[in-house]
Amino acid sequence: MALCGAETPQDGRAAMKAKPVLGILLGDAAGVGPEIVAKLVVNGFLTEHCRPLLIGDYRVLQRAFQIIGAGDPTVFVECAEDAEARGKIPMIDQGNCDPAQVPFATATVMAGTANVDGMDLGVELYRAGKIAGFCFGPFNKAMLKEDPRMEKADGSHYESEHHYIAHLLGHTAPFGEINAVGKVWTTRTTSHIPVKDVSEHLTPTSIGRAIELMYTTLRHAGVVQPKIAVAALNPHAGENGTCGREEIDVITPAIAAANERYHTDRITGPYPSDTLFIKAFRGDFDGVVTMYHDQGQIALKVVGFDEGITIAGGFALPIVTGGHGTAYDIAGKNIVHTAAFENAVKMCAQMARAGT
């Protein structure tokens, strides 16, 4: 199902600038995503920050409204304008996830397939100029991979939803996960590999791609001249080579090449990570590039575990979600906090406005 209207993608996005139309995907039906969306529908948060278009199975949303003890202010639509004129929040009912077959806290292929359907529709609507970006409730990544569309031609699977979306968009430039708490954004050069293997995966090219990802995503969010800090690998940034040479041989050349590429001097480092995040959280940098997974994740989660967001970095299409997972242990209990998803919506709207 697509929304009505004959405007071109360019015209449609220009009209969204003041309050962008954002797709809001419910997330895994067995997790907390639908409850979060239901709460933000009822308390008016979504309509305060965007023109929401809910995407998912209406029955799943109905169950969420029952869980939180609230009425249903949504309406099925083919024309979002009709719903808004009646003071309703529009929803495209994909009718693909029967809650009777998806009990809370249970991983199911049905829920995973529904989430892939939602991504497909989100990209389709963006390309048609009907939405300016989308947010999604947390997915169960294992169940996503059970859907046949997540299998590549060589028989392997797309590593994440970001890789699948890149496939849908035909995107070949650097992309990947950017984590943020408040105004501190991080991305990492290496991710899910053993710590003992990190050094051999650090090259001027791999670090340069991480810097490019951070730089382009900040630009998409409206930061005209990003100020980016690059972390060191070794204690005390290698102590001039007496405690490791990666800073001298690999990281510093990558920083110099990035500054030359972007005609700037605002990409700096390498900084020891035990002091870098003190500077980052006081506002010295727009973004931080780390060398390995926990180098940035520990700092962010200590400061804002319940508030963090994940941005699909590198895409012109704004895609943001909360930094937490499906939280099966509390799903259906009406105790989930909404702060992370609220921050995701606000960031997605900011990026959409910057990109129009």
Q: 86-126: per-residue pLDDT in tens?
A: 678 899 999 999 999 999 999 999 999 999 999 999 999 99
- What are phi and psi for residue 269, nearest 5 degrees? 135, -165
One CATH from 3.40.718.10, 3.30.700.30, 3.60.21.10, 2.70.70.10 for 183-306? 3.40.718.10
Select from 230, 204, 355 the least CA-distant residue to 285.
230
Full-model pTM = 0.89
d(CA 177, CA 312): 5
**Residue 92 host element (H or E):** strand 89-93
Reported confidence tier of residue 168, pLDDT bands at 50, 70, 90:
very high
Is 4's pLDDT higher than 80? Answer: no
For residues 273 and 209, give the distance between their C-alpha atoms in angstroms, rounded to a whole number: 20
Q: Is 279 left (phi over 0), alpha (psi -120 to 50) or beta?
A: alpha
In this predicted structure, the answer to whether residue 58 has a pLDDT above a threshold of 60 is yes
**Could you name the CATH architecture of 1-174+313-356?**
3-Layer(aba) Sandwich (3.40)
pLDDT at 10: 45
- CATH 3.40.718.10 intervals, the chain: 1-174+313-356, 183-306
Please identify which residue in the block is written with the tokens 């501190």.
184
Mean pLDDT, to the nearest integer, of 156-161?
90
Smallest Cα–Cα separation from 178: which of 297, 349, 352?
Answer: 297
